[in-house]
Amino acid sequence: MTYNNSFSAGSAADIYINTPVNRSFTYKIPEQMNLLTGMRVVVNFSGREMTGFVSAIHNNLPEGIELKDIVSRIDDEIIYDERIIRLAEYVSESYLSSVGEALGKALPSGESSRSRPRASRVSHIENSRIDLTDKQKSIYDRIMSSGKKSHLIFGITGSGKTEIYMSAAIDAVSKGLSVIYLVPEITLSSQIHARLYKVFGENLIVYHSQLTQNQRLANWKRFYKGDAMIAVGTRSAVFLQCPKLGLIIVDEEHDSSYKEQSTPRYNARRIAFYRGETENATLILGSATPSIETLYAAERGVIELHKLEERYGDGKLPVIEIVKLQNSNEEITPRLKMYTNRAIKDGKQAVYLLNRRGFAPFVLCGDCGCAVECPDCSIGMNYHRGKGMLCHYCGYSSDVPLNCSACGSESILKLGSGTQKIEEIISKEFPDYRIFRLDQDSARKKDTVYDLLDMMHKREIDILLGTQMISKGFDFHGVTVAGIIMADIGLNMPDFRATEKIFSLLMQLSGRSGRGESEGRVIIQTLNEEHLIFDYLKRQDYLGFYREELKIRKLINYPPFTRIARIVIRGKSEESVSQSAELLTIDMKRLVTEQYSGIMVLGPSPAPLSKIGGNYRYHIILKGKRLNELTAFVKTAIDSFKSKAVYIEIDIDPVDML
């Protein structure tokens, strides 16, 4: 395949713009402007200046329209070619956005900075062989010799998936093929970055949202030109372009941060699969707790399944205990206290998970029981130490009210516990231990995560307490105790994936303990120890949990047995939102009887979060056996629905239904 049409000359350019209008627009190229396909420009679109993506240059001027001039050129060299237009078309068709919106997500938005990026040499890989165990070697060999392009490595935590990824990456790069290595949205990816840098040096680029836009652009260019052959990055790195793609790795493939949460709501895992198929590249997904969908696909042979069932080196699996909390005010059970003391006396460390930030999640009136709600969202506000009341959905904050807005009582109770409160409690419980709290609030400060990694490795922290952030990607050899303060949080969310999410969270956290030479101990505290998941957790039997969950999914007809699309209707007026939702549903049901017999329409109903940021929200859930039919159905239904009083959001394969 060649892509040499980038050099066609002409006087007009077809340009995509990041706007919901799904077509390109033609602009005149000013006389002196030397423009090529594959450059970004600034254009005036409907009265405002916007970035445009040039997709073709030609002389066919449309009749009857006065074309506008391109305002200016952003790039002085080509940074993409038609391959990314094709990919954006795929995203646009799959997730029902415009091509321009897809390009807006796929392409970097920075400008070339004055300082030249350092001259990069295409370095040789320094004598880097990764030593693989027999088990790792046999999986590596099977992937390399397999006729299948897509693979899942289902390997327990600490089983050494990374070594297989790295060996495959070295192999690809040595053949002159580029590699994209995806990691979840976490700053903690610095650990894998360091390992990759050791092997690949200047051949490695990073690509994630913590870089400045100009850094992202500079790295994009190096990868596009083949000056760097391996890229490690988050979700959007799945769009990186290169001379010839050889391998895509999706580590922790179950992680929901691979799903984009604004239009187009793509899943990087699906884009990776598509690129693997269409660009003839190998895809390796890896997880200790694969998503139900992926594991199901692997069992059916759509992707090849490889299991790693033993820990790497001397590591042993931790022992897991389920401990009943006497009541919701109990925070640290004697069991957890004992194991923590024992570990720290031994020079080891503990991690505690509480999946709830802030100080107290429930603030309510002691007399009438009225909760303090966010004025813009249909949700209770959380009390944060030093900050007062905070809404976790829109960020609205206020002082703690002096009296109840409903009955005027001055008795305002702060109930429940978040990480800030647990931090206070464990500081009292263990006055001599060094405690570090990691959650969204503490991680906001610039170097928190780097300091944390450093201090953990130097054993300057005894107890690391945090939200689910601490379950991702860490590899701390001193940790022998993992405590889950309250395992019930999130289990009762109105979301068919709630159990799956909590199970993998708890299992991932358990996997943080006992990675060194000493055996790990996990204390899972819960109010409801009868819950089905704890049996499987205790045995660390993900496959058993999977089979059980699969039965339920089949029974209630949810993924992977059906595909889902979710339509959210939102707007400032509750009447027009509920009316529009009703009308859209009627349209859809008619369409089902006329043409789309395979589609099920559920709803409309108020979304579980019925109001966010002042917008009322209703949703309609659609189910279909085949994704193509489902997508076509949504497209037809939405296109013919004309109400402009409300916004409509489309989510194909949603990861949550809130």
Q: In this chain, which stretch among 18-26, 226-234, 294-302, 607-615 interacts with DNA, using CB under 7 A?
A: 18-26
* SS3 at position 412: strand
Cβ proximity to DNA: between 256 and 643 the closer is 643
Q: Considering beta carbons, is residue 102 or 353 the nearer one to DNA?
A: 102
Return the residue matching tokens 């206070």.
424
Residue number, 278 or 573, with CB nearest to DNA: 573
Q: Does 147 bind DNA (CB under 7 A)?
A: no
Q: How far is the CB of 466 from DNA (least distance, A)?
A: 35
In the list 6, 11, 44, 427, the residue contacting DNA (rule: CB under 7 A) is 44
* String of contacts with DNA for each residue 585-624, x by CB under 7 A: ----------------------------------------
349 and 343 Cβ atoms separated by less than 8 Å: yes
Q: Which is nearer to DNA, 554 or 635 (CB)?
A: 635
645 belongs to the binding site for DNA (CB under 7 A): yes
Binding of residue 148 to DNA (CB under 7 A): no
Angle at 480 between CA 478 and CA 484, to 5 degrees: 125
Which of 428/644 has CB closer to DNA?
Answer: 644
Q: Which is nearer to DNA, 129 or 644 (CB)?
A: 644
The distance of closest approach from Cβ of residue 25 to DNA in the complex, given in angstroms and rounded to an integer, is 4
Applying CB under 7 A, the span of 14-22, 131-139, 280-288, 387-395 interacting with DNA comes to: 14-22
- Two tokens, residue 658: 């809130």
Give the residue, chosen from 32, 46, 59, 327, that forms a contact with DNA under the rule CB under 7 A: 46
Determine which residue in the list 6, 10, 11, 26 makes contact with DNA, applying CB under 7 A: 26
Is the Cα torsion angle 327, 329, 331, 336 positive or negative in sign?
negative
Cβ 15 to DNA, closest distance in Å? 8
Tokens of 387: 């900050």
Report the residue from 6, 10, 11, 21 that binds DNA according to the rule CB under 7 A. Answer: 21
DSSP secondary structure, 123-181, as one string: PPP-S-PPP--HHHHHHHHHHHH-S-SEEEEEE-TTS-HHHHHHHHHHHHHHTT-EEEE
CA trace torsion 470, 471, 474, 477 (10° rounding): 100
DSSP state of 351: E
Q: Any residues with CB less than 8 A from the CB of 48 and at least 6 apart, and which?
A: none
Q: Which stretch binds DNA (CB under 7 A): 44-52, 80-88, 160-168, 607-615?
A: 44-52
Among 530, 535, 468, 490, which Cα is nearest to 254's?
468
Judged by CB, which is closer to DNA: 31, or 530? 31
Stretch that binds DNA, among 45-53, 128-136, 336-344, 627-635 (CB under 7 A): 45-53
DSSP assignment of 569-635, as one string? EEES-HHHHHHHHHHHHHHHHHHHHHT-TTEEEEEEEEEEEEEETTEEEEEEEEEESSHHHHHHHHH
Taking CB under 7 A as the rule, does residue 198 contact DNA?
Answer: no
Residue 508, token pair as written in the block? 């991932």
Least distance (Å) from DNA to the CB of residue 409?
A: 36
Residue 638 within binding range of DNA, rule CB under 7 A: no
Shortest spacing between CB 43 and DNA, in angstroms: 7
Q: Report the C-alpha gap between 471 and 506 in whole angstroms.
A: 8
Q: CB of residue 59 vs DNA: minimum separation in angstroms?
A: 14
The two three-digit tokens of residue 220, written as one number:
């994009």
Q: Which is nearer to DNA, 122 or 645 (CB)?
A: 645
Which structure tokens are listed for 362? 């429930």
Q: Pick from 6, 19, 378, 448: which binds DNA (CB under 7 A)?
A: 19
Strands 349-353, 463-466: pairing kind: parallel
User: How far is 420 from 468, CA to CA, in rounded Å?
Assistant: 14
- The H or E element containing residue 195 is helix 190-200
Site for DNA in 390-449 (CB under 7 A): none
Identify the residue whose tokens are 């199970």.
Answer: 503
3-state secondary structure 425-486: HHHHHCCCCCEEEECHHHHCCCCHHHHHHHHHHCCCCCEEEECHHHHCCCCCCCEEEEEECC
Closest approach of Cβ 26 to DNA, in Å?
3
**Contact region with DNA (CB under 7 A), list: 213-221, 388-396, 468-476, 643-651:** 643-651
- 292-299 and 542-555 helices, crossing angle to 10°: 90
At residue 8's C-alpha, the angle toward residues 7 and 9, to 5°, is 110
Residue from 4, 31, 34, 47 touching DNA (CB under 7 A): that is: 47
Considering only 452-460, 491-499, 523-531, 644-652, which stretch makes contact with DNA by CB under 7 A?
Answer: 644-652
Binding to DNA (CB under 7 A): which residues in 48-107? 48, 62, 65, 67-68
Q: How many residues bind DNA (CB under 7 A)?
A: 21
Euclidean distance between CA atoms 107 and 39, whole angstroms: 11
With CB under 7 A as the contact rule, the residue among 16, 27, 80, 536 that binds DNA is 27
Residues 460-489 that bind DNA (CB under 7 A): none
Q: Could you give the strand order of the β-sheet that contains 388-390, starting from the edge strand earlier in sequence?
A: 382-384, 388-390, 397-398
Between residue 511 and residue 570, which ones bind DNA under the rule CB under 7 A? none
Q: In the chain, how long is the greatest CA-to-CA distance? A: 82
Q: Which residue, 104 or 276, is less far from DNA as judged by CB? A: 104
Query: Of the candidates 321, 587, 643, 658, which one interacts with DNA according to CB under 7 A?
Result: 643
**Token pair listed for 416:** 């429940």
Rounded to a whole number of angstroms, the minimum distance from the CB of residue 576 to DNA is 7
Shortest Cβ 68–DNA spacing (Å)? 3
Residue 53 Cβ vs DNA, minimum distance, rounded to whole Å: 14
Residues forming contacts to DNA in the complex (CB under 7 A) are 19-21, 25-28, 44-48, 62, 65, 67-68, 642-645, 647
